[in-house]
A and B are shown apart, each in its own frame.
Chain A
Amino acid sequence: MTDATNHIGTQHPEAQLSDYFALLKPRVMSLVVFTAAVGVFVAPAPVHPFLAAVAILFIALGGGASGALNMWYDSDIDAVMKRTSGRPVPAGLVAPGEALSFGLWLSFISVVMLGLVANWTAAAILAFTIFFYVVIYTIWLKRWTPQNIVIGGAAGAFPPIIGWAVATGGISFESVLMFCLIFMWTPPHFWALALFMNEDYTKAGVPMLTVTHGRRETRRQILVYTILLAPIAIGTAFTAIGGWIYLVAAILLNVKFLLGAVRLWRRSEAEADADGYKAEKSFFRFSLSYLFLHFGALAAQGMWVKLGMGAW
């Protein structure tokens, strides 16, 4: 009897479970889980804790599925960029077709399960989010326009809207504000990264703003978006999900973020080169804390109200 399996995996390293997990972009998933959880928590309708946890799990799985589909389509440019060359598909651990099928099946399972566990409005928004990230951002915008990050950022902004829909079955002004907060935060966050990872994007031919319009213009755009972001972030304090705790946090975080953006705008390339893009790296790191702390403050505010300590 011939044994075809003798040849399987002997030429290439074999994919482990952790490689399939890496296809889901776990770091992006942590943002999805956190913002979706806050969306569920601050919504005015109560959800059974077990159903909320399962719903968040499937929202995260849907986010992960879109990550796998992104890695399938982008494997050619991932192989060129230093930051992404170790991903499972360019590293030869998972075949592109396998990543595609993995992503499609997980998308289907996550959408159907979210519909069954929560409601079909939330499931429909999750399906649209996956479509938006894979088709609109990855396939269409990413390689075509320097506005890729701006429009594509919408995909990452949907989780709190989905979380809110899990609890209420709909969309509201507050959930749209949470969407806007992430949407307006995405460009300064990614452009700060692009300022010190420019070589990667140039090599891959991805039209990031730094590649098409240069670093000077990117610094200006970071400042513009940071200025536009501040009133949205602070204004959320005066809605049904806001309050004193969130207002204080939002003011402090936005002042620091704005000062950081002004500092980047004032810097010349010579200065940035001289200190190894220290300020840009520090702005990028702070941008992560900025978003986590805003949503953390919303959760804290929600907890304050639920404990009967009063709202506005």
Chain B
Amino acid sequence: MAFRPEHELHKRRFGRNTGLGLILVGFVAIIFGVTIVKVSNGSFMEAYDHAVRPSITVPESSN
């Protein structure tokens, strides 16, 4: 089956579509960068894995 010839609209809007594509790539890069910075600068977090460990016990002196 032969390819359909490119529509004139696609040629006319090539610049606009390329620009929008670049903007979207830039937006993704920003989100990625913000995530990296926020995670790197965030306070240390530990999830609870159903096992007692020193970092989640209350020191005796505080009782």
Contacts and interface: CB of A to CB of B under 8 A. Distances in A.
Given A5-B7, A9-B9, A14-B12, A51 B20 contact: no
A168 to B, nearest CB: 17
A117 B34 contact: yes
A312 interface: no
Interface string B23-34: 000000010011
A104 to B, nearest CB: 18
Given A9-B9, A48-B41, A54 B33 contact: yes
Contacts of B15: 16-17
- Sorting the interface of chain B by its residue count into under 10, 10 to 19, 20 to 34 or 35 or more gives 10 to 19
A9 B34 contact: no
B5 to A, nearest CB: 12
A51 B16 contact: no
B45 interface: no
A17 B17 CA distance: 8
A57 B9 CA distance: 32
A9 B10 CA distance: 12
Contact of A17 (B12, B19, B30, B33): B19
Interface of B: 7, 9, 12-13, 15-16, 19-20, 30, 33-34, 37-38, 41
